[in-house]
């Protein structure tokens, strides 16, 4: 549970550290399946007129050839971020032929593991490594798990804030070391309180039967092709979503950068017997990059990550060890099918407020006992989050989800008032979500289930109908001539860059 932040907020105001908060930078990475107009996973290659998935800065693929990833620049304006994301949707929808962009986290009905095509990136060394890594994910976890989509929210505070905040704290470390330590403090509190985001924004309470693909489960039936949990918020973030037995034993420290780097490095260099049995190269064919617990750092599944932009030939850990943490990436956000982009400005303002709360709230190190408690809370909220009498664990015993939510919102109110002095709309964002605390049926997961029942539709049919509606909407909003020229130029330059990497020019 939290302690009052009032003294710390007063200190920020007295130290003139409110205006720097107007310069928060945000970026969005949104994954989305390409599907046919009858709701099946697209089997054709990544369309040439979307550019090279290897080198295009804004339109690429994630695991699958059919799993688009839209990447916005990191900018200070929320409106500019969302406008660019919208432009990516509009351009893509116009360029696709008889296909839609799937607007939900859980996939359409699938036809088995092999129906999810692994992404291809060409013949360059970089492209082949990216493909081999994904082949390894198939061998380790299967392709169906990799068809899940989500929204990743990148967040960073400006140096002008960090410099003043460091002085306020009386800290004598380098600015890079101070900033890294503070981002890890934010990450620890995100682990403590991130269940609130799962409750408020979880939008995957149901899925197609094809997703479990013969696996044992405790999901209930809803319609002919839909499985669900009555009080679930985010099956994507539950054990039914990203499953990873090898990583279940990993305990990657978030106490500081050194420990985080140590634990990930160990996983990157420790062979795992089942992966060794798969083989790295069999009959001249690469099956995975290596047989270690993690092939690369990004294989580590986490609901939040410390990040830094890398230089050529540099791994993420090398970049952070050399220059510190630059920003954090929130990874537990479902795509909300009821929002055109899956996310909106009100949600972003709430995220700003929540992340600043995680930074400013006291954040002691997380020990093994607390880590286990946080994992249990995570499971309870993903699977039972809308249960009216749900209890969560705290250091002082159990507390109802609704009561704890109210306590957190009291702290968020105060931070939103502070942010309103640097921007606008933050207090309104907190007020917007406050009714959801006592009315779980108003959450995205609650509204989705209500829609499925009211319309007597399966998950795939309901989302597919929404995909068709959105495609029509995007096509009625053509890009300006300048915007269209910009994206066409990126298509051309990205293909030229891939050919250069492949030694073809």
The CA–CA distances, whole Å, from 20 to 165, 167, 419 equal: 10, 14, 10
DSSP-assigned states of every residue in 185-199 = HHHHHHHHHTHHHHH
* C-alpha to C-alpha distance for 227 and 240, rounded to whole angstroms: 11
Q: Which of 329, 261, 269 is nearest to 295 (CA)?
A: 269
Contact call for residues 414 and 5 (beta carbons, < 8 A): yes
Q: Which two tokens stand for residue 500?
A: 């250069």
Name the least confident of 112-116, 209-213, 359-363, 429-433. Answer: 209-213
pTM to 2 decimal places: 0.97
Q: What is the DSSP string of 53-65?
A: TTT-SSEEESSBT
pLDDT 10s digits, 157-180: 999 999 999 999 999 999 999 999
Q: Please check whether residue 471 is in contact with residue 477, taking contact to mean a CB–CB distance below 8 angstroms.
A: no
Contacts 24+ apart (CB under 8 A), 166-170: 167/15, 168/11, 168/12, 168/15, 168/17
Given a cut of 60, is residue 3 above it in pLDDT?
A: no
- Whole-number Å distance between alpha carbons of 306 and 154: 10
Closest CA to 111 of 60, 219, 38, 61: 38
Mean pLDDT of the chain: 95
Q: Note whether residue 504 is domain-resident.
A: no
- Indicate whether 155 belongs to any domain: yes
Contact 202, 444 (CB under 8 A): yes
pLDDT at 10: 92
Q: Which two tokens stand for residue 466?
A: 């929404």
Q: Which of 381, 413, 467 is nearest to 191 (CA)?
A: 381
* Count of Cβ atoms closer than 10 Å to residue 382 Cβ: 27
Work out whether the CA dihedral 144, 145, 146, 147 comes out positive or negative: positive
Q: Which helix (H) or strand (E) holds 303?
A: none
Best-predicted range by mean pLDDT (8-17, 180-189, 448-457)? 180-189
Does residue 1 lie in a domain region?
Answer: no
Residue 211 within a domain: yes
pLDDT confidence of residue 159: 97
Q: Is the pLDDT of residue 223 over 90?
A: no
d(CA 206, CA 230): 9
Read off the pLDDT of residues 309-321 as tens digits, 9 standing for 90 and up.
999 889 999 999 9
pLDDT tens column, 37-74: 999 999 999 999 999 999 999 999 999 999 999 999 99
Q: How many domains does the chain have?
A: 1
Side-chain-side CA neighbours of 423 within 13 Å: the count stands at: 25
- Confirm whether 505 is domain-assigned: no
**Residue 153 is part of a domain; what is its CATH number?**
3.30.590.20
> Using an 8 Å Cβ cutoff, are 284 and 303 in contact?
no
* Residue 158 resides in a domain: yes
Q: How confident is the model at residue 216 (pLDDT cuts 50, 70, 90)?
A: confident
The reply to whether 439 falls in a domain is yes
Residue 108 inside a domain? The answer is: yes
pLDDT computed for residue 1 by the predictor = 39
Structural domain including 431 reads 6-489
Contact (Cβ atoms closer than 8 angstroms) between residue 209 and residue 222: no
Looking at the chain, the whole-number percentage of residues with pLDDT higher than 70 is: 98
Beta strands in 335-485 (DSSP E): 391-394, 397-400
């Amino acid at each position: 549970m939290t302690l009052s932040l009032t003294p710390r907020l007063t200190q920020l105001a007295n130290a003139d550290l409110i205006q720097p908060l107007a310069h928060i930078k945000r970026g969005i990475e949104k994954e989305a399946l390409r599907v046919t107009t009858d709701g099946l996973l697209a089997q054709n290659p990544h369309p040439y007129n979307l550019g090279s998935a290897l080198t295009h800065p804004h339109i690429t693929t994630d695991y699958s050839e059919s799993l688009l990833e839209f990447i916005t620049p990191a900018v200070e304006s929320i409106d500019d971020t969302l406008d660019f994301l919208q432009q990516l949707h509009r351009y893509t929808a116009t360029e696709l032929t008889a296909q839609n962009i799937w607007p939900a986290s859980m996939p359409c009905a699938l036809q088995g593991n092999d129906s999810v095509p692994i992404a291809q990136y060409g013949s360059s060394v970089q492209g082949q490594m990216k493909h081999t890594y994904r082949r390894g994910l198939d061998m380790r976890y299967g392709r169906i798990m990799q068809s899940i989509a989500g929204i990743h929210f990148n967040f960073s505070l400006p140096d002008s804030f960090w410099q003043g905040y460091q002085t306020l704290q009386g800290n004598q470390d380098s600015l890079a070391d101070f900033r890294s330590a503070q981002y890890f403090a934010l990450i620890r509190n995100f682990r403590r309180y991130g269940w609130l985001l799962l409750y408020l924004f979880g939008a995957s309470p149901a899925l197609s039967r094809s997703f479990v693909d013969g696996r044992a489960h405790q999901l209930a039936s809803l319609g002919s092709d839909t499985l669900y949990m009555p009080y679930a918020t985010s099956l994507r973030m539950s054990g039914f979503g990203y499953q990873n037995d090898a990583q279940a034993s990993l305990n990657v420290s978030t106490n500081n950068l050194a420990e985080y780097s140590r634990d990930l490095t160990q996983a990157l260099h420790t062979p795992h017997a089942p992966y060794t049995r798969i083989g790295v190269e069999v009959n001249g064919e690469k099956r995975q990059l290596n047989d270690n617990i993690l092939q690369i750092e990004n294989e580590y599944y986490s609901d939040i990550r410390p990040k830094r932009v890398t230089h050529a030939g540099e791994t993420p850990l090398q970049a952070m060890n050399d220059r510190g943490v630059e920003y954090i990436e929130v990874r537990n956000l479902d795509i909300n099918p009821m929002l055109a982009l899956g996310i909106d400005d009100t949600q972003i303002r709430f995220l700003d407020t929540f992340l600043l709360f995680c930074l400013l709230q006291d954040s002691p190190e997380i020990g093994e006992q607390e880590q286990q408690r946080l994992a249990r809370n995570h499971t309870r909220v993903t699977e039972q989050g809308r249960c009216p009498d749900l209890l969560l664990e705290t250091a002082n015993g159990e507390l109802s989800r609704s009561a704890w939510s109210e306590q957190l919102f009291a702290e968020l109110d105060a931070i939103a008032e502070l942010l309103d002095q640097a921007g606008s709309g933050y207090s309104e964002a907190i007020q917007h979500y406050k009714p959801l605390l006592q009315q779980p049926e108003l959450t995205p997961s609650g509204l989705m289930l209500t829609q499925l029942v009211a319309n007597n539709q399966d998950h795939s049919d309901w989302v597919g109908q929404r995909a068709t509606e959105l495609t029509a909407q995007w096509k009625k909003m053509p890009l300006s001539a300048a915007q269209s020229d910009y994206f066409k130029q990126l298509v051309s330059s990205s293909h030229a860059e891939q050919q250069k990497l492949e030694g073809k020019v």
